[in-house]
């Protein structure tokens, strides 16, 4: 079983932290958003940071979700096959001694390079839930390169993170910014519902 890293940041606040001290939810957000933007190297950095921190099972759950939520076509089968390979390599090995990060790396590369479409997410949120009135949001600046510690990009702070909520980020901001950031982009069935 994976052991989460907890670091107290306040009297009643225990947040999950990665091996390099990043906030878990921010790294998770950065990984998915880097994949959406086709930023393979950054996406891999964040995925492997989570894996090295003992969150391997979570990484796979998130990568499978990304394959359905952000990618066009039937790439989920490829990611599932890589996950199956990961499980074979790690059969009878404790999570603390996990191997096979090459399978995570390959999944990140495939997802980052896949054509992007948020049709499945737009179907459930913009068609079914009938969310409208999405406002435009400014995309983050280019990331600075750093050999060992990469700063969490501003685009990771959205309505799904504490910092994003504190900054007033809304779900409407999220839909606009993330749709505009898809790369490579595959036109979708529900694009007209996002006011870009």
What CATH number is attached to the domain comprising 97? 1.20.272.10
The pLDDT-based confidence of 140 (bands split at 50, 70, 90) is very low
Q: What are the structure tokens assigned to 135, written together?
A: 């406002």
Domains identified in the chain, total number: 1
* Structural domain that includes position 43: 5-193
The larger pLDDT score, comparing residue 135 to residue 36, is at 36
**142 pLDDT exceeds 70?**
no
Percent of the chain with pLDDT over 90: 48
Spatial separation of the C-alpha atoms in residues 169 and 189, rounded to whole Å: 26
The per-residue pLDDT for range 145-164, each reduced to its tens digit, is 445 567 788 888 888 888 88
The pLDDT-based confidence of 36 (bands split at 50, 70, 90) is very high
């Amino acid at each position: 079983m994976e052991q989460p890293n907890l670091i107290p940041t306040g009297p009643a606040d225990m947040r999950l932290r990665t091996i390099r001290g990043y906030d878990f939810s921010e790294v998770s957000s950065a990984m998915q958003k880097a994949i959406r933007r086709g930023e393979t190297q950054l996406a891999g950095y964040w995925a492997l940071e989570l894996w090295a921190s003992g969150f391997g099972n979570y990484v796979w759950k998130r990568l499978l979700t990304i394959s359905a939520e952000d990618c066009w076509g039937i790439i989920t089968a490829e990611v599932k096959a890589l996950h199956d390979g990961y499980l074979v390599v790690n059969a009878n090995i404790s999570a603390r001694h996990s191997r096979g990060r090459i399978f995570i790396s390959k999944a990140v590369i495939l997802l980052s390079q896949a054509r992007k479409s948020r049709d499945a997410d737009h179907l459930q949120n913009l068609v079914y839930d009938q969310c409208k009135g999405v406002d435009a949001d400014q995309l983050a600046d280019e990331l600075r390169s750093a050999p060992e510690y990469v700063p969490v990009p501003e685009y990771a702070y959205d309505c799904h993170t504490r910092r994003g909520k504190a900054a007033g980020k809304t779900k409407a901001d999220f839909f606009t910014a993330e749709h505009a950031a898809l790369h490579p982009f595959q036109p979708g069935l529900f694009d007209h519902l996002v006011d870009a």
